[in-house]
Amino acid sequence: MRMSQLLLFLCFIFAANAFAQNTMPWKKRVKLAQDYEKSGDYYQAAIFYEGVYAEKPDKEEFAYKAGNCFYKLRDYVNTIKSLEVIKDKNDSYDKPGFKYAQALKQNGQPDAAKKAFESFLKSYPANKKDFEDIKRICENEIKGCDFALKINDLTNPAITVALLDAKINTNKTEFAPFMSASNDFYFSSTIDGNSRVFTSKKSGENWLRPKLPTFLEGVAEMPHIGNLVISESGDRLYFTQCMLEDGAPFCSIYCMTKGNDDVWSVPVKLPDYINQEGSNTTHPHIVHTDDKEILYFVSNREGGKGGLDIWFTTRSLISQSNNYTLPKNLGRNINTKGNEVTPFFNKEENVLYFSSNGWITAGGYDVFKSAGQKLEWEIAQNLGFPVNSFADDLYFSKDEQEGSGFFVSNRLLAPKRVATTDDDIFSFGVNNTIITVSGIISDPDMSSGALRDVDIKLYSEGELLEEQMLASAEYRFKLLSPKVYSIEIAKPGYESESFDINTGSFDQSEDIIKNIDLKRPAVAVEEDPVVEEDPVVEEDPVVEEDPVVEEEPVVEEEPVVEEITENTNMVGTVFKIQVAAVRNYKSYKYTSLKDYGAMQFEDIDAGIRRVMLVPNALSQDGLQGFDSKEDALNTLNQIIFNTRFETAFVIQITNGERVGDGFRSLEEFESSDAEGDTDDYEGF
C-alpha cells in the first residue's frame, strides 16, 4: 500500500471512529469497546472507553477501562491521563495507583513515579493476601526510580545508540535480532499481523530489503514464528512457534538441522521435558563450549523463582540427536520473582546478558549482565544508560570481537520514534579506543639494566585498579578511554617513580612505550658544620600594642559516612563488604554509602587502604560486620545497583582474619572452602 493510500485509510478509520463517538448512544459504544477489548484490539477499545468517560464523567469505571487498555499498549502518556482521576481508588479497581506510577516511571518521570509508588503503597490495604508481594514490588520500583534519577552518573559516554533504518523497522513490532556467522541478519516482525522471521544483509551503511527465509516456507504449525538463532557451526537452528490464547502467547522451541547436502530438515519440537506442557518455552540461545552445546531458554515452568526464568540444558556435539540433559534453573543471582528473558552469552567475556523486570530497573525491562556459566553466576548488574532507558529494553546481543551489537526497545527517539507502543531494533557501538602502555623497568647504573621483583600499581581517581609484582622487568597495562590513570613503580632500595596518562587525549588506539629508569637514592656526605657567630643586633624599644584576635574561618564540613574503628579482638565469624582499595582516602567520595552502613578501614602494604562497609549495629556476637553472608550479599546487591562501587565484594572475617579471596554470589561462596548454612538470600 502506497503511503498516500495508507494515510487515507488511517484517516478513514479515525473519521469513522469520531463519527461513531458523536452519533452512537454511549451504551452501544461501551458494548463496542468491550468487543474490541475482548478481541485484543486495545487501542480501539481505549478510544471508545475514553470517549464514553468524556461524555459521562460521573462514570469513572470507563476512565479506568481506558487507562487499563492504554497500559496494556504501553501508551504511557494516555495511561497517565486516564488513570489520574482514579489513581487513589485502589479499593474499587485493580491497582490503578500502581499502573499510574509505573506509567510515570516508564514515561521518564522517576521523581513523580517514586511519590506515586509511595502513595499507592500507603493506601493499599495491609489485610489483602497479596500485600507482602505488592510491598516487595513497590519497594523495588522505588529503588528503580532512585536508580533512574542517577542517569547522568550512570551513562556511558563511549556507547552510541542508533535506530536501524526503515527497511528493518516498521510501525509494527520488530524483535529478536540475530547476526549469523555468515553475516546473515535475522529478525522477527509482526508487519503481516502474525510474527514472522525475516532476513537481510548489510550493504555498506544500509540494509537490503528483508525477505522471508526459504527454509522456513511452509513449515509453520502455529500462527507465530520468531526468535531464530543458528549454531556457530551453522548446521543447527532453533526458533519458537507460538499460539495466542486470550492475548497471551504460549510458545514452544523447535530445532532444524542441516545435512551434508546443505538442506534443512523439517522442524522438530524439542522434548516434552524442555517444552513442558502447560508452560511457555521461548527465547532459545545456543553456545558451543568444549564438546557440549548449551541451550539457554526462557520458561515459566514449575520449579522456577517466579514468572519467566532463564534455564539451560546441554547435549553432546558428537551426537546428532536431540538428547538433552534435564533443564536446570540458572539460580537466584540471575532469576527473580519477576521475569527474566532474552538470554545472550558472550564467550569472549564469559558473560550472560539478559533482560529483567524483577531486578532494580530504570524503566520496565532493563538489560543486565552476569559473569559465569551454567549454575555459577555473579550477582546481575544493570548495564546502565544508554543501552537501558525509561522504557523496555530487551534482546541485547554483542559481537564477540567488535563489541558492537543490537538490542530491542520501545523508547522514544525523536524525530523517528514518537510512540512507545511498538518495539524496534537498535544498534549500538562502543568507542574502541584502547591505549596500551608498556615498557622496561631498569637501573641505568647496572650492566644488566633490567630489574626484577618490581612492584607496579595502576590507579584511576585515587583507586587501585591493578597491581603487578613483576618477575621480569617488562610491564603492560590496557587502558580505557576517556580516563586519567596514574602508574606507580617501586622497588626496595630505589626511589619510586610515577607518571600519569590521560587517555581522553587520544583519538585512536595507540601503543605507548614508556621505559622507566629507577635510581638508587643519593648517599649524602656529611660535612663539619660551619659555626657562624651571631651578629650583634641593637634592640629597638618595644611598643606594646593591643593583640589582634583573628577569627577562625568557618569551614563547611563535608558530608561523610560514619566511620568506625575495627575491633581487633574478634572471636567468631562476620561478613564485610569491601568497596575499594585506595591510596588517598577522601570521605566525600563515599557519601552514597551512608544508607547502607559505616566505613571501616584496613591499612596494608605500600600505603594502600582497604575501604570496607559494615552495619551500623554490632552483630549478634557483638562483632562489627554482617551476621550472615546472605545479609551481606543483599546489601552488596543494593550497593552495586545504586552507587558507583560496581566492583565491591563480600569478605569473610573469622577471628579477626580474612578467609578466602572474597565472593559476589552464594554459588561462589559455596564453591570455596568456607563453611556455613545458607539463609534467605533475596537476590533482588
Identify whether 125 is preceded by a cis peptide bond (ω within 30 of 0).
no
| Planar angle of CA 20, 26, 30, nearest 5 degrees | 90
Average pLDDT, the chain: 85
Q: Minimal CA–CA distance to 657: which of 538, 568, 525?
A: 568
b/e sequence 288-307, b meaning 16+ C-beta within 10 Å: eeeeebbbbbbbbbeebbeb
C-alpha cell at 461: 581517581
- Give the domain ranges of the chain: 16-148, 159-430, 435-517, 573-670
Pairing type for strands 516-517 and 435-442 reads parallel
**Does residue 522 surpass a pLDDT of 60?**
yes
What average pLDDT does this structure show over 419-447? 87
Global pTM reads 0.72
Q: Give the integer Cα–Cα distance in Å for 664 and 678.
A: 14
> Tens of pLDDT along 237-286?
999 999 887 667 789 999 999 988 889 999 999 999 999 998 999 999 99
Q: Which residues neighbour 361 within 8 Å (Cβ) at sequence distance 6 or greater?
A: 144, 147, 382, 388
Higher pLDDT residue, 539 or 275?
Answer: 275
Helices 96-106 and 76-83, packing angle to 10 deg: 140
Strand ranges across the sheet with 194-200 = 174-179, 185-192, 194-200
> Tens of pLDDT along 151-197?
987 888 788 999 999 999 999 999 999 999 889 999 999 998 899 99
Q: Label residue 672 by pLDDT band (50, 70, 90).
A: low
Say which CATH class 435-517 falls into: mainly beta
**Does residue 148 surpass a pLDDT of 50?**
yes
Write phi, then psi, for 545 (nearest 5 degrees): -120, 155
> Tens of pLDDT along 598-657?
888 888 876 788 899 999 888 877 888 998 888 888 788 778 767 778 788 999 999 888
What average pLDDT does this structure show over 445-453? 76
Residues written for the chain: 684
**Does residue 225 surpass a pLDDT of 70?**
yes
| Domain 159-430, CATH | 2.115.10.20
41-45, 56-60, 483-487: range with lowest mean pLDDT: 483-487
C-alpha cell at 404: 558492537
Q: Give the integer Cα–Cα distance in Å for 296 and 432.
A: 29
Q: What is the pLDDT of residue 4?
A: 36
Q: What are residue 194's DSSP bridge partners?
A: 192
Question: Which fold is adopted by the domain 16-148?
Answer: 1.25.40
Cβ 200 vs Cβ 221: under 8 Å? no
As a dihedral over the C-alpha atoms of residue 401, residue 644, residue 119, residue 633, rounded to 10 degrees, the angle is 90
CA–CA distance from 236 to each of 240, 266, 316, 322 (Å)? Answer: 14, 12, 13, 11
Q: What is the pLDDT of residue 669?
A: 67
Write phi, then psi, for 362 (nearest 5 degrees): -75, -25
Q: What are residue 298's DSSP bridge partners?
A: 282, 310
Give the percent of the chain with pLDDT over 90.
51
67-81, 183-197, 390-404, 441-455: range with lowest mean pLDDT: 441-455
